[in-house]
């Protein structure tokens, strides 16, 4: 793969380091962000059209499906036929499918490829990409995924990347709540947190929430709990993803009671309590403060 001209739309906490890693690998990056943010090695341009015109690849990293639709409508008419459109935003499945459809009608290859790994993974180039799109589109995108991340899974047709991401994060939200509840219960039962971790992390209750991202400070590997719950993955982002899972469940007529309850608890935490701006594992101090009747 020689030098590519890549337009990158959305240079926020995730997009900026991803774009910088592509520039570092020798590609020519043109970046645009509505907030005027920039990234190392990336030429800042004045608008979406300039970022897209003549680009081999356009990558978007945007906050939600409504914004993706608006950006795609401005972007696609300026993209060259045969070029590649990679959307790395986490959005609803319907927005991803409609965007891919619009791109394909214009003769553009499209991949929806939301990511896992957070800001740290974006900076280190160790993200996981969950991709939806044709075999040809995925094959074109894969070398770029290799630069920005450590793993890319082709999940299926357009929208499949988003489906994989929201199913994964529904599990993550539910297991984090269960892990926090269990630590708070252990405290009230007089069980030492380290002993609980030693048992659960090697028993049938183990999970990524417990073993890799333990919500109890001073227990397990370093996590946001050891940094006053400053976000690695903010509670409001977890709430967004749980909302997407419930939107998808409603459209698919799927019964997801635990996902729905996790969404309700994170909504309460973010909107009515102190959760906004905290890591999603800050559910532990929330439960510590509460008794049986809330």
Active-site residue set: 165
Q: Return d(Cα 282, Cα 275) in angstroms, integer.
A: 7
Residue 95: half-sphere exposure toward Cβ, Cα within 13 Å: 24
Helix (H, G, I), strand (E, B) or coil at 45: coil
Q: Return d(Cα 216, Cα 157) in angstroms, integer.
A: 39
Tell me how far apart the 2 most distant CA atoms of the chain are, in Å. 65
For residue 130, give Cα distances in angstroms to 139, 149, 175, 176, 204. 14, 11, 21, 21, 27
DSSP E strand stretches across the chain: 5-9, 28-32, 42-44, 57-60, 84-87, 109-112, 115-116, 127-133, 149-156
Q: Which residues pair with 115 in a beta bridge?
A: 129
Q: What are the structure tokens assigned to 75, written together?
A: 């972007």
Helix or strand holding residue 134 (H, E): none
Q: Return d(Cα 225, Cα 185) in angstroms, integer.
A: 18
CA dihedral 116, 117, 118, 120 (to 10 degrees): -160
Nearest Cα neighbor of 244 from 179, 177, 181, 173 is: 173
Q: Give the contacts of 293 (CB within 8 A, at least 6 positions apart).
A: none
């Amino acid at each position: 793969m020689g030098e590519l001209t890549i337009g990158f739309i959305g240079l926020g906490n995730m997009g900026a380091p991803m774009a910088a890693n592509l520039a570092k690998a020798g590609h020519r990056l043109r970046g645009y962000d509505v907030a005027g943010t920039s990234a190392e090695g990336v030429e800042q341009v004045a608008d979406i059209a300039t970022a897209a015109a003549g680009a081999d690849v356009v990558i978007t990293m945007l906050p939600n499906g409504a914004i993706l639709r608006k950006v795609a409508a401005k972007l696609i008419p300026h993209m060259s036929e045969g070029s590649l459109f990679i959307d790395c935003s986490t959005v609803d499945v319907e927005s991803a499918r409609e965007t891919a459809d619009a791109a394909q009608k214009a003769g553009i290859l499209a991949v929806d490829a939301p990511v896992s790994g957070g800001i740290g993974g974006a900076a280190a180039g160790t993200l996981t990409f969950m991709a939806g799109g044709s075999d040809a589109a995925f094959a074109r995108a894969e070398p770029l995924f290799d630069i920005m991340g450590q793993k890319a899974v082709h999940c299926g047709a357009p929208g499949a990347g988003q489906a994989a991401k929201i199913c994964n994060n529904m599990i993550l939200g539910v297991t984090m709540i269960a892990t926090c509840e269990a630590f708070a219960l252990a405290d009230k039962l007089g069980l030492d947190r380290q002993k609980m971790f030693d048992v659960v992390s090697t028993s049938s209750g183990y999970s990524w929430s417990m073993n890799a991202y333990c919500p109890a400070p001073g227990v397990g590997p370093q996590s946001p709990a050891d940094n006053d719950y400053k976000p690695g993955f903010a509670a409001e982002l977890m709430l967004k993803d749980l909302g997407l899972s419930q939107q998808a469940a409603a459209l698919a007529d799927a019964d997801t009671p635990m996902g729905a309850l996790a969404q309700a608890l994170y909504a309460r935490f973010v909107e009515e309590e102190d959760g906004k701006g905290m890591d999603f594992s800050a559910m532990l101090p929330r439960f510590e403060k509460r008794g049986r009747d809330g």
